[in-house]
Amino acid sequence: MVCFSSVPANNPSLRGSLASKKQFFGENSRYAIAPVHTRFDDVEWFVWDAEHANSTMNKAEVIRQSPTLSDAVCGLED
């Protein structure tokens, strides 16, 4: 299970950058998740998938963006 000890406050001037390091989870560390600074009030949670079926870039692609950690990992392998 993914667990972040603390989530930094959102800083709109850093929008688009990671608010904390990525954490990997799932079989063979298939997924990565991290909070990302936004131009709004709160950070958003992004999930990357290293085995995305429609990938044309040969690297992990964002498959989800959610307002909460629990929403972001819902239904994905632990």
In tens, the pLDDT along 34-54 reads 999 999 999 999 999 988 766
Is the pLDDT at 69 greater than 80, yes or no?
Answer: yes
Instruction: Find tokens 């709109």 and name the residue.
Output: 12
Domain boundaries of the chain, sorted by first residue: 12-73
User: pTM value?
Assistant: 0.89
Which residues are 26's β-sheet partners?
A: none
Q: Which helix (H) or strand (E) holds 72?
A: helix 69-73
- For the CA atoms of 17, 19, 24, 30, what is the dihedral angle to 10 degrees? -30
